[in-house]
Amino acid sequence: MFKNEPLPFHAHAELAAEAAMAANAQGKFWPMHDLMFEHQQALERSDLEKYAQQIGLDMGQFKSALDSGKYKARVQKDAAEGAKVGASGTPTFFINGNRLVGAQPVDAFKKAIDAELAKKK
């Protein structure tokens, strides 16, 4: 499950998160996510609209969602939930309740998952 965590020191993070949710509504979350991640320094409204157009979103629906703040409450709710469980940075992963913070190698995930599976035996 993906949750939004727009960090306060990123000026355009909340709008970018809303754009991702607007793209998700059209079945294009991951393409939008990937473009925004690839261009982290270019997240102005005009940049987000350019990415939306690149991935083939219905621009009327996309712009309407951003103009109305349709996903603002959802993004804020995700951030509040993250804060509640101690997710103060991105990415943060939880494996059976255990927190794994930051970009980690596959082996870190394997070790955490194997440790949890070993508890089940």
Give the model's pLDDT for residue 72: 97
- pLDDT confidence tier of residue 5, bands split at 50, 70 and 90: confident
CB 109 within 8 A of CB 95: yes
Residue 109 sits at φ, ψ, to 5 deg, of: -70, -45
Mean pLDDT of the chain: 93
- pLDDT confidence tier of residue 19, bands split at 50, 70 and 90: very high
- Give the tokens for residue 37: 């991640």
- pLDDT confidence tier of residue 97, bands split at 50, 70 and 90: confident
| Domains of the chain: residue spans and CATH | 1-87 (3.40.30.10), 91-121 (no CATH)
Which of 77, 59, 75 has its CA nearest to residue 67? 59
Instruction: Give 44-68 pLDDT, tens digit per residue.
Output: 999 999 999 999 999 999 999 999 9
Number of neighbours of residue 16 by Cβ within 10 angstroms: 25
Can you tell me the distance from the alpha carbon of 120 to that of 58, in angstroms, rounded to the nearest whole number? 47
Can you tell me the distance from the alpha carbon of 71 to that of 29, in angstroms, rounded to the nearest whole number? 13
- pLDDT confidence tier of residue 109, bands split at 50, 70 and 90: very high
Can you tell me the distance from the alpha carbon of 32 to that of 40, in angstroms, rounded to the nearest whole number? 12
